[in-house]
Structure 1
Amino acid sequence: MVDSLPMDVAEVLDAVLGTDDPVHRALRAQLPHLRVRERCTCGCGTAYFDLDTDAAVPAPVGTGTVVAAGAQLLTEAGECPGEVLVFTQGGYLSWLEVCSWSDDIAVTLTAARRWLSR
């Protein structure tokens, strides 16, 4: 985890970028240079980032906006109410999106953190 990031954001990024994939390794290397600029106001927990691009190397994902990582969320009951997605722009971490597919289950970053840690 990275001390400069809020715990919920750091833990979800750690879970979603946890594989040994070369893109995930490159994005994890950007984490020490990452800060949360703002969060979505609806309460979902989506976080928008600022990154010191002078100190970080871009990940090999392309020059545009790319979904570089993601994970479907599974509840304790086995339901899939949404997902989290990690977006990059120009190979740099840009935002962490919390997506809800359900009107019945609240999908937030806090819930995602719990479901991903199981």
Structure 2
Amino acid sequence: MPEVLPADVADVLGVLLGGEDPVHAALRAHVPHLRVRDRCTCGCGTAYFDLDRNLVSPAPSGSGTVVAAEAQIVTADGECPGEVLVFAQSGYLAWLEICSWSDDIEVTLALARQLLQR
């Protein structure tokens, strides 16, 4: 059963979908209606969403799957061990992905949340 959107996921979506971009604004309207359907089993924090499409309008992001927002994760010493991406499918939020590029720093949603909110 899908779980209510956890605060860490909501916080990171808030940062990535902030601003005046019309696609981001439309996707922000989806957030109150999102539920987490599944999480990656490796512990990175990647979350796959369920969304009742009858409750929201699609964002003008085009058809198919697109990266709707992204941000590199940069540590205090300037290292960039990974990134966070938000995917939309046919204009609807689909998943939040945490990508690691480093063997030295464990890249997780908790790390992304901490570093993106500074």
Q: TM tier, shorter chain?
A: over 0.9
Task: State the alpha-carbon separation in 1 of the partners of residues 26 and 97 from structure 2.
Answer: 19
Could you tell me which runs of 5 or more consecutive residues in structure 1 were left unpaired when the two chains were aligned: none
AA matched with 1:19:
G
Residues 38-77 of structure 1: pairs in structure 2 closer than 5 A: 38-77=38-77
SS at 2:30's partner residue?
A: helix
**TM (normalized to structure 2)?**
0.95
Displacement of 1:5 in angstroms is: 1.4
Deviations 1:37-82 (CA, angstroms, capped at 9, x unpaired): 1100000000000001001100001110000001111111111111
Runs of 4+ displaced beyond 2 Å: none
SS at 1:99's partner residue?
A: strand
Task: State the alpha-carbon separation in 2 of the partners of residues 99 and 19 from structure 1.
Answer: 23
Task: State the alpha-carbon separation in 2 of the partners of residues 97 and 76 from structure 1.
Answer: 22
Task: State the alpha-carbon separation in 2 of the partners of residues 107 and 31 from structure 1.
Answer: 23
Could you tell me which runs of 5 or more consecutive residues in structure 2 were left unpaired when the two chains were aligned: none
1:6 paired residue number = 6
Deviations 1:1-28 (CA, angstroms, capped at 9, x unpaired): xxx4101100100011112100000000
AA matched with 2:115:
W
Alignment of 1:95 with 2:95, yes or no, is yes
Alignment of 1:20 with 2:20, yes or no, is yes
Displacement of 1:101 in angstroms is: 0.7
Alignment of 1:86 with 2:115, yes or no, is no
SS at 2:10's partner residue?
A: helix
Matched-pair identity in %: 70
- Paired residues in the alignment total 115
Displacement of 1:34 in angstroms is: 0.7
Q: What root-mean-square deviation, in Å, do the aligned CA atoms of Structure 1 and Structure 2 show?
A: 0.7
